[in-house]
Amino acid sequence: MANGAAAGECPGGHPCAWPGAGRHAPSPAGPARRALRGLPRLVRAQSGAYAVEFALVFLVFFLVVYGILTWGLIFVAQQSVNHAAQEGARMALQWQGANAMAPRALHARAEALRQVSWVQSMGNANAAIAVCGANGLLQGEGACSGAALAPDQIEVLVRYPYLAGPLVPVLPGVLPWLPTQLTARASVRLGGPVAGG
Q: Which of 21-25, 132-136, 176-180 has the lowest mean pLDDT?
A: 21-25
Judged against a pLDDT cut of 70, whether residue 149 lies above it is answered with yes
pTM strictly above 0.85: no
pLDDT digits (tens, 9 = 90+) for 18-45: 555 555 555 556 666 666 666 566 566 6
- Percent of the chain past pLDDT 70, that is, above it, reads 70
Mean pLDDT value of segment 60-70: 92
pLDDT digits (tens, 9 = 90+) for 78-96: 999 999 999 999 998 886 6
128-133 β-sheet, strand order: 136-140, 128-133, 153-160, 182-189
- pLDDT score for 1: 47
DSSP state of 15: B
The residue among 163, 157, 155 whose CA lies nearest residue 84 is 157
**pLDDT classification of 190: cutoffs 50, 70, 90:** confident
- pLDDT score for 173: 77
Choose the most confident range, by mean pLDDT, from 41-45, 66-70, 193-197: 66-70
| Cα angle for residues 49, 52, 56 (degrees, 5° grid) | 140
Pairing of strands 136-140, 182-189: unpaired
Check: CB of residue 143 under 8 Å from CB of residue 130: yes
pLDDT digits (tens, 9 = 90+) for 159-174: 999 999 999 888 887 7
- Neighbouring residues of 180: CB distance < 8 A, sequence distance ≥ 6: 161, 162, 163
Mean pLDDT value of segment 100-116: 90
Any idea where the domains of the chain sit in the sequence? 36-189
